[in-house]
Amino acid sequence: MITQETIGEILFDKCAEVFTDVPIYLKGNEPEGEIDTERVVVITRRIESGKYWNRSMCEINYCVPNRADEKDGIRLKVAQTMLKPLYSGCGTAEGERYRFKKMSVGEEEERDLRYYFVNLKVLFEILNV
């Protein structure tokens, strides 16, 4: 049975295929405080039941530290391009079929920790039959 933790592992593995030189963390396991290097954070949410598909709205955040206290727009643009392979996918895990697709993508700021990030919202669906 696919659980919230399974979804995190699947998205973590998909990210690892794309981002070979960038640290990847599941939400809650990332280092605290200001960031000084780029990182990817995978955030999973609870699974909600549906008639044909159980759904979980997840997020993949590519974090880019500020450069000289300013937004690094070039790296954010590159990060958004690098996220494209994660816009959709499908597979089987723990005997169940799943698929995921991009719902939205955009830039956000974390002012207190001095970084911006590209936020990819992903709808993760598990076949419920």
Domain chopping of the chain, boundaries: 4-127
Question: 61: which strand partners?
Answer: 41, 119
What mean pLDDT comes out for the span 102-119? 94
Q: Cβ distance 60 to 44 under 8 Å?
A: no
Q: Cβ distance 37 to 16 under 8 Å?
A: no
Q: What pLDDT does residue 15 have?
A: 97
Q: What pLDDT does residue 8 have?
A: 97
What pTM did the predictor assign? 0.94
4-127 folds as STM4215-like (3.30.2000)
Q: How would you list the strands of the sheet with 96-110, edge to edge? A: 24-26, 39-43, 53-65, 115-127, 96-110, 88-93
Nearest by Cα to 114 from 77, 47, 52, 64? 64
pLDDT at 112 over 90: no
Q: Cβ distance 40 to 15 under 8 Å?
A: yes
Which is it for the CA torsion 6, 8, 14, 19, positive or negative? negative
| Residue in the structure block whose two tokens are 């200001």 | 34
- Categorize the per-residue pLDDT at 37 as very low, low, confident or very high, splitting at 50, 70 and 90: very high
Q: What pLDDT does residue 111 have?
A: 87
Q: What pLDDT does residue 68 have?
A: 85
DSSP-assigned letter for residue 114: T
DSSP-assigned letter for residue 75: H
What mean pLDDT comes out for the span 94-116? 95
* CA–CA dist 58, 112 (Å, integer): 23
pLDDT tens digits, one per residue of 42-68: 999 999 999 999 999 999 999 999 988
